[in-house]
Amino acid sequence: MSSPQRVLVTGATGYIGGRLAPRLLEAGHLVRVAVRSPGKLDHVPWRDRVEIAKTDLSDLDGMTEACRDVHTLYYLVHSMGSSQQFEEQEAEMARTVALAAERAGVRRIVYLSGLHPEGVELSQHMRSRVRVGEILLAGAVPAVVFQAGVVIGSGSASFEMIRHLGDTLPVMPAPSWVNNSIEPIAVRDVLHYLVHAMDLPEGLNRTFDIGSRDVMTYADAMRRYAQVAGLRRRRVFHFPLPAPRLSGFWVGLVTPIPLGLAVPLVQSLQHDAVSAEHDIDAYIPPPAEGLTGYRRAVALALKKIEDNSVETTWDYRPGATSAADPLPSDPDWAGRTVFVDERSRTGEAEPEKVWKVIESIGGRNGWYSLPLAWRVRGAMDKLVGGAGLNRGRRDHTDLQVGEYVDWWRVEAMEEGHRLLLHAEMKAPGRAWLELSVEPEGDGSRYKQRAIFFPRGLPGRLYWWGVWPFHGFIFPSMARNILSRAAALDTTEEGAASRP
């Protein structure tokens, strides 16, 4: 390993960056992270061990200051925009970062791009990633661009797509891209190369293809996933049509991946993604235990999910504040339209047990009322580009501020007492769901509020349209949460009484 250096990590609130920062710390390096909203890192376990530079990647002066005394800059940012200006915005941001690094005397830039063939027309997002790499390589600061294919790891968007397609569809009609060759790589191996980029010779300026050497078709990847997961054989039938947008739309409906991410992900699969060279072996040896094959990578990812130990996800925003304004306090509602559905019930379960149920709501645990109604609403949300119900949650029992729970985002939490969820579904207004518990006598009082700030006439019509369903969903939700908490009491008492 190289001697300890100061490094700057951009994208530290993302899937790869959130895993890389603690590993660089473990390797003995001094880590600085550049973020627009430092509050997003308040709840990560390594928060107090890193320096935080508050800046935007498009701010030349801010980035120059963030790069001061930095040896290596990790550029781990890639947006999923779809606007006409998306590619140019990405390119301009890369030019800004490259110039800031030059001004501050940074010795190396490390960028993670994607595997792609030469001489073909790439998708917009893959084209943008390639262009960013070219801009960094053309800059005054030497750059190392790692080009990786499908990343397999708990919480990665690519793996979640394979997992949910495999879990959901025993028979999958698919476009011709499922027969394209891919070379998946375990996230642990991606991190291995990124950490050891610090050991590369000074002045090296080039791309490196990185992969597992385990080449297969995308259809094979789904079949092998099913085998590792203990599912029945999955049958994949392809049609001689690429149909990237249509298949991206389908993937967005049946997986947790939102349409805005599913479409570019699928579009990036229109060509083979296989390493063209293995030059990296001459500079960074594989991990001591060898590169992680696909089956083992899948098994490791599934074990992480089963153990509730997913480190980061494709939608990684620990401690994030909501994109919407915070929920105003009750007095501030005066003078504006607000709709509230409020429920309150008492139960015999201890407050601690009721809180356990509240904190574990959503995902595979469900919403404790009319599952079909929730699934239908989730499907409707997906159809209009929302998060949908099948996004699930990172951990089945533990929550942090900023994490997602199906189509909700945790906006505030008072441990043991109150959970505030902000809706990320598509609706003509802003919505929150507040769940709380407090002691009452020998048991608990559970309170539940659905709060909606309508936007114009469509918002009002929306609220009154769903109001009849609230009359079924919310009372049963309150009743079933207390029943579940009482069942926890009974289960634990029974366990304690057994010899």
Structure tokens at 10: 């951009």
Handedness of CA 59, 61, 64, 66 (dihedral sign): negative
How do residues 409-462 score in pLDDT, each as one tens digit? 898 899 999 999 998 888 888 899 999 999 999 999 999 999 998 888 888 888
488 or 317, higher pLDDT: 488
Mean pLDDT of 87-97: 93
When mean pLDDT is compared over 132-141, 263-272, 314-323, 337-346, the highest value belongs to 132-141
pLDDT computed for residue 490 by the predictor: 61
Mean pLDDT of 318-339: 50
Residue 20 clears pLDDT 90, i.e. is over it: yes
Cβ atoms within 10 Å of 85's Cβ, excluding its own:
9
CA dist 379 and 400 (Å) reads 26
| Number of residues in the chain | 499
Contact of 142 with 107, CB cutoff 8 Å:
yes
How do residues 179-222 score in pLDDT, each as one tens digit? 889 999 999 999 999 999 999 999 999 999 999 999 999 889 98
47 or 493, higher pLDDT: 47
CA dist 271 and 118 (Å) reads 10
| Helix 157-168, helix 294-306: angle, nearest 10 | 80
pTM of the model: 0.74
When mean pLDDT is compared over 51-60, 389-398, 408-417, the highest value belongs to 51-60
Domains of the chain: 6-306 (3.40.50.720), 330-497 (3.30.530.20)
Contact of 45 with 21, CB cutoff 8 Å:
no
CA dist 474 and 493 (Å) reads 29
CA dist 105 and 84 (Å) reads 34
pLDDT computed for residue 164 by the predictor: 82
Phi-psi region of 105 (alpha: psi -120 to 50; beta: other; left: phi over 0): left
Instruction: Please name the residues in contact with 61: beta carbons below 8 A apart, sequence gap of 6 or more.
Output: none
Mean pLDDT of 131-157: 95
Residue 320 clears pLDDT 70, i.e. is over it: no
Residue 278 clears pLDDT 90, i.e. is over it: yes
Classify residue 416 by its DSSP letter. Answer: T
Window from 59-63, 147-151, 181-185, 254-258 with minimum mean pLDDT: 254-258
Residue 246 clears pLDDT 80, i.e. is over it: no
Window from 101-110, 148-157, 382-391 with minimum mean pLDDT: 382-391
Helix (H) or strand (E) holding 95: helix 86-104
Contact of 262 with 255, CB cutoff 8 Å:
yes
Confidence of residue 241 (pLDDT cuts 50, 70, 90): low
**To the nearest whole percent, how much of the chain has pLDDT over 90?**
51
Confidence of residue 397 (pLDDT cuts 50, 70, 90): confident
Exposure b/e, 41-60, CB count within 10 A at least 16 = b: beebebbeebeebebebebb
